[in-house]
Amino acid sequence: EDKVVQSPLSLVVHEGDTVTLNCSYEVTNFRSLLWYKQEKKAPTFLFMLTSSGIEKKSGRLSSILDKKELFSILNITATQTGDSAIYLCAVEGNTDKLIFGTGTRLQVFP
């Protein structure tokens, strides 16, 4: 059965800290891994990763995929209170469907 596991489930940090969010997966015929940020409403797209070892970067956020170890990390440097959200990892296999992990709830305090 396809599965996506995220850790930690919850994280509390102070502004300026760096955080690393983890996502491991098992999926048939992997196509891509996606990271989303969810605040009060629906998730917003952050990154899509398809190849191992190639870092995707957007401002203070970066992500990388390891297809051998079936693992991805999302890094956020110099965190700000506006980074407080749930970060969702999703994996796409041989169908159009996205399988979501449980999410990591990040809280950044001033």
Give me the residues that bind another protein (CB under 8 A), please: 32, 34, 36, 41-45, 48, 88, 96-103, 105
How far apart are CB 9 and another protein at their closest, in Å?
A: 9
Nearer to another protein, 19 or 47 (CB): 47
Q: Which among 101, 97, 103 is positioned nearest to 30, based on CA atoms?
A: 97
Pairing of strands 71-76, 3-7: unpaired
How far apart are CB 22 and another protein at their closest, in Å?
A: 15
Q: Cβ distance 88 to 100 under 8 Å?
A: yes
Taking the CA atoms of 58, 62, 66 and 69 in sequence, report the sign of the dihedral they define. Answer: negative
Nearer to another protein, 94 or 102 (CB): 102
How far apart are CB 16 and another protein at their closest, in Å?
A: 26
Q: Cβ distance 91 to 30 under 8 Å?
A: yes
How far apart are CB 43 and another protein at their closest, in Å?
A: 5
Nearer to another protein, 19 or 36 (CB): 36
